[in-house]
Amino acid sequence: MKILKNCSVTKLKEYSRSYGNPETVSFAYIFEHDKIIICLDEIGRNIRTFNKGTKVLISYKGTEISERSFKIATNKAVKAHEERKAQDKLIQEAQMAKESEINALQLAKWEDFLKSNTEKLNQYAEIVRTRPSNASRSGNWRRILKLKFAKNCNSESFENCPSPAQLNETIFKLINQTA
């Protein structure tokens, strides 16, 4: 078994029923065995396996390296990948916290609007009670609540709009408080 790095594989383009012109694809590593070559990415994950001597595989080349240097390089790449994933997770959590903060402010606006307009509160509660939640057209209460929220509380914009379920919860919380 040989290990190659910075590899390029020349193969035929594959279509559903035929082969096309040759194309060159680059891979970080290749494991060369007797009958197959295994193409790997920087982390060492299997991307593609080619059988030697087939019509698809034309040629491949790369710099031969030892197994030890392969393991060292892939371990570094795995650590860097995990650090990137951790940073992305922190960014995503911060974004989720910001969105939930905005969502809470929007729900407070919705609640204030409904408290000041009891007619609308009763009208929207009736819409939720009488219309199905999964109708395909305009009869869907979820869509109607989002439209009413956007019109009355969000300057006719659907950005940062709470979920219809949250809007519905607010309606029934206020209905139960007034009853």
Q: Tell me: the pLDDT tens digits for 9-40?
A: 999 999 988 999 999 999 999 999 999 999 99
**Does position 138 have pLDDT exceeding 60, yes or no?**
no
pLDDT band at 165 (very low <50, low <70, confident <90, very high): confident
22 with 58: CB under 8 angstroms? yes
Residue 26 sits at the vertex; the CA angle it makes with 20 and 30, to the nearest 5 degrees, is 110
Q: In the predicted model, is pLDDT for residue 153 greater than 60?
A: yes
Confidence of residue 135 (pLDDT cuts 50, 70, 90): low
The pLDDT mean for the chain works out to: 89
Predicted confidence (pLDDT) at residue 134 exceeds the cutoff of 80: no
